[in-house]
């Protein structure tokens, strides 16, 4: 198969769909890989590193899209990239379609085979291609939150871990999944007072055992959420519903009543955010203030640490890329129910129920859509 790796064009996005090591795995199997000039330069991989791995370097994204049977990216395709997709071409990347009607409409029009990293599943009910970025974002959320609490960012002027004789900041983490667990790990390490809210008692048991009681675990009700959010110095929103828009758990009324100078990091912003007052920001301008609360809502948080993120993501995506390349998309999807769950749009049909429901679009069963090809 011919695989194409374009350079990411989203603001401050330095990650790349495939590292030279990943390219080498595919060229060793007899596949061709075309990489756009400088695609990996943001993390120190020059064109020569890709050429040494067996790739051909092309000057423009248009050439890569024109030649490739499968496009491997990181972020959702921007409008100019969506216009280059064609019928029967595979797109394998993060899509986050539930809150994004214009992108979904363009992908339907393109008739491409669009597989979203974030809805591929595993046999434990997890999301293996979202997990590495959730790990990165969860760990980063505490760094970002600690910075947001500094006075220069309009925060309370608090040190997350305090010092002997001075209380640490109270960090409230909403959601005890991959984001929440990794955020808790960093927050505990920095000496904060940490509370995790979740609706699964099993998740709370796991966190309690993992941190030897160093994290307070609270079953999430409307009442508990309000109590802890209002007393927090830093709130981390880490709630995710696979493929669907995140629920607005922290309301505008909560924000009005939070401590002045407190901070909120909405990691769920890629899925629309779990805070009513959230709006997506960029690494260039990451925070804004609503009712004296600092909001950090960067839509691609792991993009700030692209070297770590690219390797973490590639470790997870590579086996699927190899399967798609070796078998072709139809066979690869039919052979693997978990990869099939990643299929969002194919040949002009939305085949992910969450996306169809969120955007009020007709839904087609994925196997039915595949059978029609």
Question: Catalytic: which of 31, 96, 228, 349?
Answer: 96
Q: Residues 288, 281: contact at Cβ < 8 Å?
A: yes
Cα–Cα distance measured from residue 64 to residue 70, given in angstroms and rounded to the nearest whole number? 10
Q: Residues 328, 298: contact at Cβ < 8 Å?
A: no
Question: Catalytic: which of 106, 266, 270, 354?
Answer: 270
270 as an active site residue: the answer is: yes
Q: Residues 189, 183: contact at Cβ < 8 Å?
A: no
Cα–Cα distance measured from residue 137 to residue 309, given in angstroms and rounded to the nearest whole number? 9
The residue count for the chain: 373
Q: Residues 58, 36: contact at Cβ < 8 Å?
A: yes
Q: Which residues pair with 287 in a beta bridge?
A: 296
CA angle 372, 348, 99 (to 5 degrees): 135
Q: Which residues pair with 32 in a beta bridge?
A: 2
Catalytic (active-site) positions: 96, 270
């Amino acid at each position: 198969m011919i695989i194409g790796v374009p350079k990411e064009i989203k603001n401050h996005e330095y990650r790349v769909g495939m590292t030279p090591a990943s390219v080498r795995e595919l060229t060793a199997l007899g596949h061709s890989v075309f990489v756009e000039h400088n695609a990996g330069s943001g993390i120190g991989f020059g064109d020569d590193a890709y050429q040494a791995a067996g790739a051909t370097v092309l000057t423009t994204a248009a050439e890569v899209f024109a030649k490739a049977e499968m496009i491997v990216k990181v972020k959702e395709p921007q409008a100019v990239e969506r216009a280059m997709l064609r019928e029967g071409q595979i797109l394998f990347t993060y899509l986050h379609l539930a809150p994004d009607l214009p992108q979904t409409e363009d992908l339907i029009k393109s008739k491409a085979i669009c597989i979203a990293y974030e809805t591929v599943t595993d046999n434990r009910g997890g999301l293996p291609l979202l997990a590495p970025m959730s790990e990165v974002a969860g760990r980063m959320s505490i760094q970002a939150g600690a910075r947001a609490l500094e006075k220069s960012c309009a925060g309370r002027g608090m040190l997350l871990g305090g010092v002997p004789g001075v209380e640490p900041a109270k960090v409230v983490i909403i959601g005890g999944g991959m984001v929440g667990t990794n955020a808790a790990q960093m927050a505990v390490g920095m000496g904060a007072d940490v509370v995790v809210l979740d609706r699964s008692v099993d998740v709370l048991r796991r966190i309690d055992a993992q941190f030897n009681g160093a994290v307070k675990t609270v079953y999430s009700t409307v009442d508990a959420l309000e109590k802890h959010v209002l007393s927090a110095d830093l709130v981390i929103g880490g709630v995710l519903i696979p493929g669907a828009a995140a629920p607005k758990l922290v309301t505008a009324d909560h924000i009005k009543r939070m401590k002045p100078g407190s901070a909120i990091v909405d990691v769920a912003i890629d899925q629309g955010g779990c805070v009513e007052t959230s709006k997506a920001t960029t690494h260039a301008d990451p925070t804004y203030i609503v009712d004296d609360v600092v909001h950090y809502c960067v839509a691609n948080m792991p993009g700030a640490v692209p070297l770590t993120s690219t390797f973490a993501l590639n470790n997870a995506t590579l086996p699927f890329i190899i399967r798609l390349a070796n078998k072709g998309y139809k066979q690869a999807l039919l052979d693997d129910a978990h990869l099939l769950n990643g299929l969002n749009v194919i040949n002009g049909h939305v085949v992910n129920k969450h996306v169809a429901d969120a955007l009020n679009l007709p839904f087609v069963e994925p196997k039915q859509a595949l059978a029609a090809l």
